[in-house]
Structure 1
Amino acid sequence: MIRKLIFVVFVLFGLSLQAQTETPINDSIKRVNLLKEIGQGFLPSKLFKFDLRYLVKYNQYEGFRSGIGGITNDEFSKKFRINSYIVYGFVDKTIKYSVGGGYKVAEDTNTWINYSYTDDLTETGSTQFILDKRFFQFFEPRLLNISLFHRHVSNKVTVEHEILPKLLSEFQVSVNNIEPKYGYTYVLDGKDYRDFGTSIGKLALQWMPFTEIDPETKKITKDGFPKFTLQYTKSFKNVFDADFNFSKTDLRVVQKFDYNEPESFSILTFTAGYAHGDTPITDMYHAYPNNINKETIGQRFSVAGINSFETMYFNEFFSDRFSTLIFKHYFEPFHFGKKFNPQLVLINRLAIGNMKNINRHDGIDFGTLEHGYTEAGFELNKLLFGFGLSTTYRYGAYHLPLEEDNIAIKFTFNITL
Structure 2
Amino acid sequence: MVKFCVSLLIFCCFGTARAQNSSTENQETQKDSIKKNFFLKQIGNGYFPTKYFNFDLRYLVKYNQFEGLRTGLGGVTNKTFSEKFRINSYLVYGFRDHAYKYSIGGGARLSKNTNTWLNLSYTDDLQETGSSNFLTDTRFFQFFEPRLLNIDLFHKHITKTLALEHQLHPQVSSVAQFSVSNVEPTYNYQYVLDGDIYSKFHLSTAKIAFQWSPLETSEKISKEKKESFPKFTLQYTKSIKDVFKSDFNFSKLDFKTIHRIAHKNKNLSEVTVVAGVAGGNTPLTHLYHAYPNNINKETILQRFSVAGITSFETMFFNEFFSDKFTTVQFKHFLKPFNISQRYKPQLVLITRYAIGDMKNPERHQNIIFGSLKKGYTESGFEINKLLFGFGLSFTYRYGAYHLPSIGDNVALKFTFNVTL
State the TM-score, normalizing by the size of structure 2.
Answer: 0.92
Aligned to 1:145: 150
Question: Does 1:374 find its partner at 2:377?
Answer: yes
Aligned to 2:260: 256
Question: Does 1:294 find its partner at 2:297?
Answer: yes
Aligned to 1:390: 393
Aligned to 1:27: 32
Aligned to 2:15: none
Q: Distance in 1 between matches of 2:174 and 2:405?
A: 47
Which residue, 73, 81, 89 being the options, matches 2:86?
A: 81
Q: Distance in 2 between matches of 1:73 and 1:326?
A: 36
Question: Does 1:274 find its partner at 2:274?
Answer: no
Q: Distance in 2 between matches of 1:376 and 1:25?
A: 47
Question: Does 1:122 find its partner at 2:127?
Answer: yes
Which residue, 90, 101, 106 being the options, matches 2:106?
A: 101
Which residue, 182, 188, 197 being the options, matches 2:187?
A: 182
Please give the secondary structure, in 1, of the residue aligned with 2:222: coil
CA contact (8 A) 2:170 2:217 kept: no
Q: What is the CA-CA distance between 1:321 and the residue it aligns to?
A: 0.1
One-letter amino acid of the counterpart of residue 47, structure 2: F
- Deviations 1:347-376 (CA, angstroms, capped at 9, x unpaired): 000000000110000011000100000000
CA contact (8 A) 1:210 1:223 kept: no
CA contact (8 A) 2:44 2:141 kept: yes
Aligned to 1:360: 363
Aligned to 1:234: 238
Q: Distance in 2 between matches of 1:344 and 1:179?
A: 43
Which residue, 392, 407, 410 being the options, matches 1:407?
A: 410
Question: Does 1:164 find its partner at 2:175?
Answer: no
Q: Distance in 1 between matches of 2:225 and 2:353?
A: 32
- Deviations 1:171-194 (CA, angstroms, capped at 9, x unpaired): 000000000000000000000000
Which residue, 227, 230, 246 being the options, matches 2:250?
A: 246
Q: Percent identical across equivalent pairs?
A: 61
Q: What is the CA-CA distance between 1:415 and the residue it aligns to?
A: 1.1
Q: What is the CA-CA distance between 1:222 and the residue it aligns to?
A: 4.0
Please give the secondary structure, in 2, of the residue aligned with 1:131: coil
- Deviations 1:155-175 (CA, angstroms, capped at 9, x unpaired): 000000000011000000000
CA contact (8 A) 1:254 1:269 kept: yes
CA contact (8 A) 2:389 2:418 kept: yes
Which residue, 350, 357, 360 being the options, matches 2:353?
A: 350
Please give the secondary structure, in 1, of the residue aligned with 2:285: helix
Q: What is the CA-CA distance between 1:126 and the residue it aligns to?
A: 0.1
Range that drifts further, 130-139 or 217-226: 217-226
Q: Distance in 1 between matches of 2:29 and 2:99?
A: 41
CA contact (8 A) 1:213 1:222 kept: no
One-letter amino acid of the counterpart of residue 332, structure 2: H
CA contact (8 A) 1:244 1:279 kept: yes
Q: Distance in 2 between matches of 1:174 and 1:251?
A: 21
One-letter amino acid of the counterpart of residue 81, structure 2: F
Q: Distance in 2 between matches of 1:346 and 1:199?
A: 42
Q: Distance in 1 between matches of 2:394 and 2:108?
A: 47
Q: Which runs of 5+ in 1 are unaligned?
A: 1-22
CA contact (8 A) 1:213 1:220 kept: no
Q: Distance in 1 between matches of 2:223 and 2:77?
A: 19
Q: What is the CA-CA distance between 1:26 and the residue it aligns to?
A: 8.1
Q: Distance in 2 between matches of 1:398 and 1:178?
A: 33
Q: Distance in 2 between matches of 1:148 and 1:223?
A: 33
Q: Distance in 1 between matches of 2:317 and 2:180?
A: 28
Instruction: Give the CA RMSD over aligned residues.
Output: 1.3
